[in-house]
Amino acid sequence: MDKKLIYINSIAVALLAVFATTSGLFWKGLYMHDTVSGVAQMMGQDLITLIVAVPILLGSLYLISRGSLRGYLIWMGTMFYFLYSYASMSFLTSYNQLFLVYVALFSISLYAFIYGLLSMDVKTIKKSVSPGVTIKIAGVFSIIMGLLLALMWLSMIIESLLTGTAPAALESYTTLVIQALDLGVLVPAAFIAGLLILKGKQWGYAIISILLVKVSLLGTAILSMILFMVRNGVSVAVVQVLLFGVVTVAGILIATAFYKNINGSTNDFKVFKLN
């Protein structure tokens, strides 16, 4: 793997994300064509992306420069967060002056993430993680999270299909972008990661390490969205608030424990042939 490519793409993502999020938070009228709920959610995500995701991305670059496997896996999880977030912004947000910025963020993070996946040494990743109960907890958590997310969205969609009425989450938009991404990408990834790591498969360790970072970041962003929604007078479902709250806290705790189980000094993590 070429370390320069990681740096160039990551810095591009960081700079574009800072511009996009500060614009979203302070540019009055940028989201003028979106619903009150949509604006609250986008601003909530802008805040967490700016003050949490961007610093973590830059911090992971520093760790990568020291040959850290932890840094590399955190970078992958953070890049997955940017990929998911700006895919939703590109497809869901009503057209505005930053459309090309959203698409650029989506595209750069997508191909950087793919490049990272193709460069992974999954055998070394598994060997670097100490066996123990944390691994099993991470696998079970991943499966349960995927199941709960699937049940939450499918119950809403199936009820809509049976009653012939549009789901409330649709509001004035034309389709359910977030639900499509969750059901089509996140839920299968959660099931695959959980099952593979419980079976001791190498790719399970790689995918779960990425997923835990992404879930922790996205969960924090969702809680921020909820706070913005409440502040703007948007009603929120208590069950969903509790679900996302529990998943986020659990994800952060399990991610922390999982990454502590990655052994060795930084010199032991120079396994990706960074040039």
**What does the pLDDT look like over 93-142, one tens digit per residue?**
999 999 999 999 999 999 999 999 998 889 889 999 988 899 999 999 99
- Establish if 211 belongs to a structural domain: yes
Which is nearest to 62 in space by CA: 10, 119, 105, 126?
Answer: 10
Q: Give the side-chain half-sphere CA count within 13 A for 119.
A: 21
Instruction: Report yes or no on 275 lying in a domain.
Output: no
Q: Does 71 reside within a domain?
A: yes
| Cα R_g (the chain), whole angstroms | 19
| Pairwise CA distance, residues 70 & 177, whole Å | 32
Say if 61 falls within a structural domain.
yes
Lowest pLDDT segment from 149-153, 161-165, 253-257, 270-274:
270-274
In a domain, 49, yes or no: yes
- The answer to whether residue 113 is domain-embedded is yes
Count of domains for the chain: 1
Domain of 49?
A: 3-268
Is 159 contained in some domain? yes
Q: Residues 6 or more apart from 263 whose CB is under 8 A from it?
A: 128, 129, 130
pLDDT in tens, 201-213: 999 999 999 999 9
**Residue 230 domain-assigned (yes or no):** yes
Tell me the three state secondary structure of residue 262: strand
Contact 75, 6 (CB under 8 A): yes
